[in-house]
Chains A and B, each alone.
Chain A
Amino acid sequence: MKLEKEKRNKRFDLPTLLLALCTIVVLLYLLAPILITIVVSFNKGEFIMFPPSGFSLRWYKAFFGDYMWIMVFKNSLEIAIPTMLVSTAFGVLAALGYMKRNFRGRNAVNLIIMIPFLVPGIIIGISLLMFVHKIGLAGTITSVVAGHCLWAIPTVFLLVQGVLAGYDFNVEDAARDLGAGPIKTFFLITLPRIRIGVFIAMIFSFITSFGEFNIALFLTCPDTITMPVQIWNSLKYEVSPIVAAVSTVMIFTTFLAIGIGAKLAGIRKIAGA
């Protein structure tokens, strides 16, 4: 009763107003560095300045004309795409097994898969750096993919668990009872019903790898260097507008991936994920 009355008087409610103000400040804070980067990338002048001295695409021309940046962009994709495929396959399987039934060791499996996700990236980076040297994978794309999978598999595992929360496993059992093998059941029954969730998981694992820095810093060599590491390298010396253009290209690549996912899955599901 009282709550309803208050809702009607909401407009002049001081605490609610303060809360709203606080929320807007925090959300602006979260968006500010991204928006500013995009604005700066279209700057006409030689230096970063406000307000921008005019609109131009010169930094994008510089980016697309620079062989080094194009190669780095290609490296990032060559690492992110295998990471996406491998981690989606492994993560979806694990999530299916995890959600299907209660068994002894369920918590242990969850813990083993999730731990790397919650450990500082620098620790994964240095321990893998030493390890890949020993097994002869140093400086290869495979080593970076392995490192990224340690974060991408838990991402997929968590997301697909969410999708499977409302999934009826009886249908699968029915298919098995009717004589379908486990592989046939998976491709004909399970996968079509969770394909949107799997797709979102794929996109998230791609983004995880594409933007990852701490692991890549240690595992990449000059031939396999990725975008975040190269941006980091150039930030160490100067804050050049070309980095803004590079960053904007990264932001839009990510948003393109999300846009495809949102189109296929409906924006509400992504927001809730």
Chain B
Amino acid sequence: MQSHRKHKWAEKLFEIYRKNRSFLIFLPAVFTVVFFFFIPIIALLRVSFYHFVSMGVFKPAFSFEWYIKFLTDPYYIDIILYTLKIAFFVTSISIIVGYPVAYYIVRSSGIKKIIYLLIIIIPLWTNLIVQIYGWFVILGEKGFINTILLGIGITHRPLSMVFCSFSVVIGLLDVVFPWVLLVLISVMEGINWSIIEAARDLGAGRFKSFYEVTFKLSIPGIAIAALFAFVWSFGEYAVPSLLGSSALRTISIEVADQILTNLNWPFGASIAFILFSISVIVLFLSNMLSQKGAKYMR
């Protein structure tokens, strides 16, 4: 009797295995992500509720003190607002300038188009730190632009263009532009251009047909590109830490400082978790939009 029961259990287990066997193919990838991403993130969440005793020493607890501190202290509110401002600015510029560029590239053809696309992808291939170094050389006190300006005689003293919000925006745009362009291009490639031709044949003017057809059809793409640009510039660390001034701090710099310099893990973890939640919310929004967009395009 007992053994018969066991046998049945084994059979049931085997049945479950047989039905879900095809999921084994995902096991290595999913296991890696769960083990090295989700578990660490949950551990981080746990630490964010701890008490801070002294540098590197914490007491297990369950308090929201660090969250409350970060979201109510005026010093940190300034940091949040500054980060939002920069991310908003970068997102707007990248969309306003990126849209016409993507439009032009989509309408071009042949070898020209391939070259344009290659130039967009090259910055994605080169690493960010190298690009930041390049901006130092271009914007620095003895850099490219200042040499030209001094040479022509427009200014007599070198302009200071690094370690300020301007250089942070320039650097972040460099990060964000390729992605924004690729998203916009892929969305516009999906537009059926014969609709425009039809609009034109039916008497719509050039700008009207652009606005009514092309622009309206690419709104979901614009939204997704904007959300990506926002998440990217909001959480980026390398650019503001190198090109920014030490007085104007962003959220990610605060996270790194709390953890690497102050060794205040609970505080750093809480800020990091706020940053994480914001990016996840934005990504869910973009996922929703892209599903809506897919329906809209049909």
Q: How large, as a class, is the contact surface on chain B?
A: 35 or more
How many Å lie between the Cα of A211 and that of B294 in the bound state?
34
How many Å lie between the Cα of A91 and that of B265 in the bound state?
33
Contact B29 A94, beta carbon cutoff 8 Å = yes
| Segment touching B, from A57-65, A111-119, A170-178, A193-201 | A111-119
Nearest chain-A residue to B178 (Cβ)? Answer: A30
With A239-B136, A268-B114 known as contacts, the answer to whether A119 contacts B276 (CB < 8 A) is yes
Interface of B is mostly: helix
Contact B136 A207, beta carbon cutoff 8 Å = no
Write out the residue numbers on chain A whose beta carbons fall within 8 Å of the beta carbon of B34: 112
**Shortest CB–CB separation between residue A88 and chain B, in angstroms?**
11
How many Å lie between the Cα of A150 and that of B132 in the bound state?
24
Contact B137 A211, beta carbon cutoff 8 Å = no
Check A48 for interface membership: any CB of B closer than 8 A. yes
Contact B100 A128, beta carbon cutoff 8 Å = no
How many Å lie between the Cα of A113 and that of B33 in the bound state?
6
Contact B122 A244, beta carbon cutoff 8 Å = no
Check B133 for interface membership: any CB of A closer than 8 A. yes
How many Å lie between the Cα of A152 and that of B33 in the bound state?
11
| Segment touching A, from B72-80, B152-160, B212-220, B267-275 | B267-275
Write out the residue numbers on chain A whose beta carbons fall within 8 Å of the beta carbon of B10: none
Check B183 for interface membership: any CB of A closer than 8 A. no
Contact B177 A30, beta carbon cutoff 8 Å = yes
Check B248 for interface membership: any CB of A closer than 8 A. no
Contact A228 B129, beta carbon cutoff 8 Å = yes
Contact A2 B201, beta carbon cutoff 8 Å = yes
**Shortest CB–CB separation between residue B176 and chain A, in angstroms?**
11
Write out the residue numbers on chain B whose beta carbons fall within 8 Å of the beta carbon of A165: none
**Shortest CB–CB separation between residue B231 and chain A, in angstroms?**
7
Contact B177 A267, beta carbon cutoff 8 Å = no
Count of chain A residues with a beta carbon within 8 Å of a chain B beta carbon? 92
**What 0/1 readout, one digit per residue, does chain A (49-61) give for beta carbons within 8 Å of chain B?**
1100000000000
Enumerate 27 A-B pairs (CB-CB under 8 Å) in ascending A order: A3-B196, A15-B206, A20-B104, A26-B98, A26-B101, A29-B177, A30-B178, A89-B28, A90-B29, A90-B32, A91-B29, A94-B26, A97-B23, A112-B30, A119-B280, A123-B44, A123-B272, A126-B259, A128-B36, A130-B43, A213-B129, A217-B237, A231-B129, A235-B129, A244-B137, A247-B130, A254-B125
Write out the residue numbers on chain A whose beta carbons fall within 8 Å of the beta carbon of B238: 213-214, 232
How many Å lie between the Cα of A272 and that of B135 in the bound state?
28
Nearest chain-A residue to B138 (Cβ)? Answer: A36
Contact A30 B120, beta carbon cutoff 8 Å = yes
Check A179 for interface membership: any CB of B closer than 8 A. no
With A19-B103, A90-B28 known as contacts, the answer to whether A33 contacts B129 (CB < 8 A) is no
Contact A239 B259, beta carbon cutoff 8 Å = no
Contact A239 B133, beta carbon cutoff 8 Å = yes
Check B116 for interface membership: any CB of A closer than 8 A. yes
Interface of A is mostly: helix
Write out the residue numbers on chain B whose beta carbons fall within 8 Å of the beta carbon of A255: 125
How many Å lie between the Cα of A100 and that of B98 in the bound state?
36
Contact A149 B36, beta carbon cutoff 8 Å = yes
**Shortest CB–CB separation between residue B99 and chain A, in angstroms?**
10
Contact A109 B142, beta carbon cutoff 8 Å = no
Closest 3 CB pairs of A and B: A33-B134, A211-B127, A120-B235
Check A34 for interface membership: any CB of B closer than 8 A. yes
**What 0/1 readout, one digit per residue, does chain B (272-285) give for beta carbons within 8 Å of chain A?**
10011001100100
Interface centre among B22, B125, B235 (most CB of A within 10 A): B125
With A48-B143, A122-B252, A124-B37 known as contacts, the answer to whether A235 contacts B242 (CB < 8 A) is yes
Restricting to B193-242, which residues have a CB under 8 Å from any CB of A?
196-197, 200-201, 206, 231, 234-238, 242
Nearest chain-B residue to A32 (Cβ)? Answer: B138
Nearest chain-B residue to A15 (Cβ)? Answer: B206
Contact A271 B114, beta carbon cutoff 8 Å = yes
Contact of A207 among B103, B125, B268 (CB under 8 A): B125
